[in-house]
Amino acid sequence: MPEGPSLIILKEAVEQFSGKKITCVEGNTKNFNIQMLKNKKVLSFQTWGKHFLIRFNTFTVRIHFLLFGSYRINEKKDAAPRLHLKFSKGELNFYACSVKLIEESPDDVYDWSADVMNPAFSAAKARKKLSLQPDAYVCDALLNQDIFAGVGNIIKNEVLFRIKVHPLSTVGNLPKTKITELIKEAVRYSFQFLEWKKAFELKKHWLAHRQSVCPRDHTPLAKKKIGITNRRSFYCEHCQVLYSGLSVHT
């Protein structure tokens, strides 16, 4: 599943089609009549977390790549696209994804202050939302798109390793300083992710995700599916502190 930074890369790659008219539409999505897109001009492209938005004058098409979605720009895969958009010069193809029509204004649908890649991201609002779920595991809280839109499993693992917090720590037991670190690092690492992804060197910077040995302690990293989300976590049971017991965060 692409994380927020990867969708920023997609947005930048398709800017060539901004302001262009769609000349042909195909695809096997059944969520709405995609032929309504034919001869419509793309107003702009936008992202919110893991949602890729194609904005038109009076509506928006939302693409969510789910677990196995993908896209091709000016080329096709050997598979039926969920949505194919043809322009006078070039095309966009989306595969194995969710395609939805949004008739409301995106500003009424999305909380831009929750998107870690958006200039409108609000650390204060993230802190308040975290305070409302003190019993949540921090590994689940980081994946909560209402709080950290765009954060996925890679970012989750790397952020928790960097701030030395065990993924099964509960939010209400994190010291205030760790809550601050958590929020700052979620944003900071997301932008580092974007930088390294563009340079085709993301994996070489992984400290915990898909790694086997802790670079700090040189001991084996745990690899388990944990939390309510049951997503795979890589973490060090020695240097990542498990905050549990009586709540210390207020």
Rounded-to-integer distance, Cα 16 and Cα 38, Å: 18
Three-state SS at 107:
helix
Between the alpha carbon of residue 248 and those of residues 44, 92, 101, 104, 192, the distances in Å are 45, 50, 44, 41, 31
Q: Is the dihedral of CA 125, 128, 133, 139 positive or negative?
A: positive
Structure tokens at 167: 């993924």
H-assigned helices in 31-137: 106-109, 123-131
Is 220 within 8 Å of 213 (Cβ atoms)?
yes
178-197: average pLDDT = 98
pLDDT confidence of residue 83: 98
The whole-number pLDDT of residue 248 equals 41
Residue 99 near residue 156 (C-beta atoms within 8 A): no
pLDDT tier at 249, thresholds 50, 70, 90: very low
* Closest-CA residue to 110 (of 141, 145, 83): 145
pLDDT average, residue stretch 68-95: 96
13 pLDDT higher than 80: yes
**Does residue 250 register a pLDDT over 90?**
no
Q: Which residue shows structure tokens 């690092």?
A: 185
Q: Among 103, 106, 105, 84, which residue's Cα sits nearest to residue 95?
A: 84
Mean pLDDT of 108-113: 97
Residue % of the chain over a pLDDT of 70: 98
- Spatial distance between the Cα atoms of 34 and 51, rounded to a whole number of angstroms: 18
Where does 146-221 show beta strands of DSSP type E?
none
Crossing angle, helix 4-13 and helix 176-198, to 10 degrees? 40
d(CA 69, CA 245): 40
Measured distance CA(181)–CA(162) in Å, rounded: 9
CA dihedral 73, 77, 80, 85 (to 10 degrees): 10
Nearest CA-CA partner of 214 in 151, 160, 174, 177: 160
pTM of the entire structure?
0.92
Residue among 43, 42, 35, 120 at smallest CA distance from 87: 42
